[in-house]
């Protein structure tokens, strides 16, 4: 009886269930600083992707709009991760938001070519997709990820006088590297999973969701700063 059941996408449902719990828990416990809000947005998008992949694979839908929705979520995640790191370490630039331009371009491009978007394969663990301009998309998809993996160790060396920030930076380094490096190594050694790379990365990003959830619940700089200012105000009066 159980052998005839459809298990495609079941792993996505499992991860989505945990990520929604992480999201609500982080919302209840975490601080309200801008980096925290961006981190929560990343967890939300990871949850939405896993949910969409489950619906695509479990229901067996071939609708182009379903694939487009999944790809749109995937496309926004890397620049949002880079934006999160830039905000947390105050790497300010008036050009910072331009990192979202490739995501906007590919979102619009996939909309115009929606009829060519396809689900190639569904398994209990991952899904593989076809979309045009794969090579160009891959370049802009991976650049923000590599940028974060370079920035974090640099910031770790610079963070000396703030033990909490140094600890959180180390947590982010571990989370980012454990999420992306194993998949990059597998893809370098084998092309078998090339068409499923985004799906596999989002599965690995469960580690990133855990990391960001811990970050949000630990990073309460804004709250602490406000408490210090209130105490100072009371002492002065």
Type and span of the H or E element at 118:
strand 118-122
Euclidean distance between CA atoms 117 and 62, whole angstroms: 9
Predicted structure pTM score: 0.88
CB atoms within 10 A of CB 80: 18
Domains of the chain: 2-224 (1.20.1070)
- Whose CA is closest to 217, among 48, 80, 22, 85? 22
Euclidean distance between CA atoms 140 and 143, whole angstroms: 5
Task: Per residue of the chain (237 residues), give pLDDT as tens.
Answer: 445 567 788 999 999 999 999 999 998 887 789 999 999 999 999 999 999 999 998 887 778 888 999 999 999 999 999 999 999 999 988 889 899 999 999 999 999 999 999 888 888 888 888 899 988 998 999 999 999 999 999 999 998 788 889 999 999 999 999 999 988 887 777 666 676 788 888 888 999 999 999 999 998 765 444 444 444 444 454
């Amino acid at each position: 009886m159980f052998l005839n059941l459809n298990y495609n996408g079941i792993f996505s449902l499992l991860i989505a269930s945990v990520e929604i719990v992480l999201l609500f828990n982080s919302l209840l416990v975490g601080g309200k600083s801008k980096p925290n809000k961006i981190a929560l947005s990343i967890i939300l998008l990871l949850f939405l992707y896993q949910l969409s992949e489950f619906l695509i694979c479990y229901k067996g839908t071939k609708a182009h709009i379903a694939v487009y929705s999944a790809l749109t979520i995937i496309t926004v995640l890397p620049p949002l991760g880079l934006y999160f790191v830039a905000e947390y370490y105050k790497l300010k630039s008036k050009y910072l938001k331009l990192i979202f331009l490739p995501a906007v371009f590919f979102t619009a491009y996939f909309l115009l070519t929606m009829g060519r978007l396809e689900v190639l394969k569904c398994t209990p663990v991952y899904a593989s997709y076809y979309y045009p301009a794969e090579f160009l998309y891959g370049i802009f998809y991976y650049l923000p990820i590599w940028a974060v993996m370079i920035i974090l160790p640099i910031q770790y060396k610079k963070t000396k006088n703030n033990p909490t920030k140094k600890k959180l930076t180390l947590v982010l380094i571990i989370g980012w590297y454990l999420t992306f490096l194993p998949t990059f190594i597998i893809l370098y050694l084998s092309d078998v999973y090339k068409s499923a790379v985004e799906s596999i990365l989002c599965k690995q990003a469960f580690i990133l969701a855990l990391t960001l959830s811990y970050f949000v619940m630990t990073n309460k700089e804004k709250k602490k700063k406000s408490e210090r200012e209130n105490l100072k105000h009371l002492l002065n009066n």
